[in-house]
Amino acid sequence: MLKGKKILLGVTGSIAAYKAALLVRILVKEGAEVKVIMTAAAKDFISPLTLGTLTKNPVITDLFKDDAWANHVMLGRWADLMLIAPLSCNTLARMAAGICDNLLLSVYLSAACPVMVAPAMDEDMWKHPATRRNLRTLATFGHHVVQVGTGELASGLYGEGRMAEPDDILKEIVGHFHQQGSLKGKKAMVTAGPTFEHIDPVRFIGNHSSGKMGVAIARELLNRGAEVTLILGPATGELQLEGLDTIRVQTAREMYDACHRAFGETDITVMAAAVADYTPALVAPEKIKKNEEDWSLTLKKTPDILKSLGQMKKDGQTLVGFALETRNERDNALSKLAQKNADIIVLNSLTDQGAGFGKDTNKITVFDRNGGERRYELKSKTEVAKDIVDYIMEYTHA
């Protein structure tokens, strides 16, 4: 199942490190080539000799050994997947903070491949707000976190925090590689961010969209092998755009033009941008001076991009819209699905804590033309993006 796959396994200091031997054995048995990096603390729990013998590759533990330098950049490039199992609380915190004080962290920071982690810790540490925050940070980096199990812990207590069993980690790895190529040969277009409608050279009408939701969807489509065009409004925060063919636009009209240029070629289109519904009827060429007590601005409707694409849609093209609502959420989402001739509508409501603009999390309900409806829990936008792409794939194969 993993023939030809190169897996870089990072082992950190945790009692669960003993499971690394079993994990390596099943990865190798499935045809993967495995190289292991251990932290100094990991060596107290399992010997490098054991893992080196099982992988038939020398285990790397130090940046410098016998006057030689371990090339952490090339190790990160060699791998198809970097798996850190077990991931201790300490290494988790260092990854989230970008600290680079051992070989494992140097390789992690320079790894160009997807990263999967299997945490292991005591229940109280697992539930600590700092651990929760660090895991959310890793999710925003696009890393896959393997769920911990419940059972007897190193402390002798019973609870959550056990590292997933090697067989379960194997399933996640196989699933990851299976998904990775699932959209190969497909073209996708995603809109993200706000639009700014100019009033004069210094003022505009805009909204609070950060672009995070749309970029997470674009990244997920890219991870699964699609060729992705991202049409991005004037979002100002830091966004991970590497690998995405990104077209920057400012206004609803520019977004409309960019979408129409790309749409004919696309198999999957996801409209996550918060597009202004109205724009000033006239843009003043000079800064408007403050004179009157009251000032009225005449606005005109912007083109409805999603609706116009819905009218052009051909068989085989999948069109996904969003609905951002504050009341009558379900009814409004369903009427957008019908009116805009979309295949799928993703509803997010500003009344849900942690959902919507700017946040790293979102809470969605998805509706489709065949009457499908699925509600999801509050999750990181990276995980929400996975759910949306999974839904699209299920829908298109339905």
Give me the active site residues, please.
Answer: 207
Candidate residues 10, 86, 142, 356; the one interacting with ligand PMT per rule CB under 6 A: 356
What would the x/- binding string for ligand PMT be over residues 265 to 304, using CB under 6 A?
A: ------xxxxx-x------------------------x-x
Q: At what angle do helices 305-312 and 252-263 cross, to 10 degrees?
A: 20
124 Cβ neighbours under 8 A, 6+ residues apart: none
Instruction: For ligand PMT, give the closer residue by CB, 168 or 304.
Output: 304
Span interacting with ligand PMT, options 80-88, 145-153, 164-172, 203-211, rule CB under 6 A: 203-211
What are the helix (H) ranges across 128-251?
129-140, 166-180, 212-223
Instruction: For ligand PMT, give the closer residue by CB, 166 or 211.
Output: 211
What are the helix (H) ranges across 79-183?
89-97, 103-110, 123-127, 129-140, 166-180
- Residue identified by tokens 């140097």 is 106
Secondary structure letter of residue 182 according to DSSP: T
Question: Least distance in Å: CB of 340 to ligand PMT?
Answer: 6
Q: 359 to 398, contacts with ligand PMT by CB under 6 A?
A: none
Question: Least distance in Å: CB of 342 to ligand PMT?
Answer: 8
What would the x/- binding string for ligand PMT be over residues 311 to 340, using CB under 6 A?
A: ----------xxxx-----------x----
Under the binding rule (CB under 6 A), the answer on residue 358 touching ligand PMT is yes
Helix (H) or strand (E) holding 263: helix 252-263
Question: Least distance in Å: CB of 95 to ligand PMT?
Answer: 23
Q: Could you give the CA distance from residue 216 to residue 18 in angstroms, rounded to a whole number?
A: 35
| Residue 192 tokens, joined | 């993200």
Radius of gyration of the chain (CA): 24
Question: Least distance in Å: CB of 336 to ligand PMT?
Answer: 6
Question: Least distance in Å: CB of 309 to ligand PMT?
Answer: 8
Span interacting with ligand PMT, options 24-32, 98-106, 124-132, 352-360, rule CB under 6 A: 352-360
- Residue identified by tokens 């491949």 is 113
| Residue 252 tokens, joined | 């609803």
Instruction: For ligand PMT, give the closer residue by CB, 135 or 274.
Output: 274
| Short-list 374, 376, 373, 396, CA closest to 384 | 376
Under the binding rule (CB under 6 A), the answer on residue 153 touching ligand PMT is no
Q: Could you give the CA distance from residue 335 to residue 61 in angstroms, rounded to a whole number?
A: 58
Span interacting with ligand PMT, options 50-58, 85-93, 196-204, 210-218, rule CB under 6 A: 210-218
Under the binding rule (CB under 6 A), the answer on residue 310 touching ligand PMT is no
Instruction: For ligand PMT, give the closer residue by CB, 322 or 391.
Output: 322
Question: Least distance in Å: CB of 37 to ligand PMT?
Answer: 35
Under the binding rule (CB under 6 A), the answer on residue 252 touching ligand PMT is yes
182 Cβ neighbours under 8 A, 6+ residues apart: 224, 225, 393
| Short-list 337, 346, 351, CA closest to 381 | 346
Under the binding rule (CB under 6 A), the answer on residue 12 touching ligand PMT is no
Instruction: For ligand PMT, give the closer residue by CB, 80 or 387.
Output: 387
Q: Could you give the CA distance from residue 164 to residue 359 in angstroms, rounded to a whole number?
A: 29
| Burial of 250 from C-beta contacts in 10 A (0-12 / 13-18 / 19+) | middle
The count of chain residues that interact with ligand PMT, using the rule CB under 6 A, is 28
Question: Least distance in Å: CB of 265 to ligand PMT?
Answer: 18
- Residue identified by tokens 């190790």 is 75
Instruction: For ligand PMT, give the closer residue by CB, 210 or 380.
Output: 210
Q: Could you give the CA distance from residue 344 to residue 270 in angstroms, rounded to a whole number?
A: 9
Binding site for ligand PMT (CB under 6 A): 191, 193, 209-214, 252, 271-275, 277, 302, 304-306, 321-324, 336, 348, 356-358
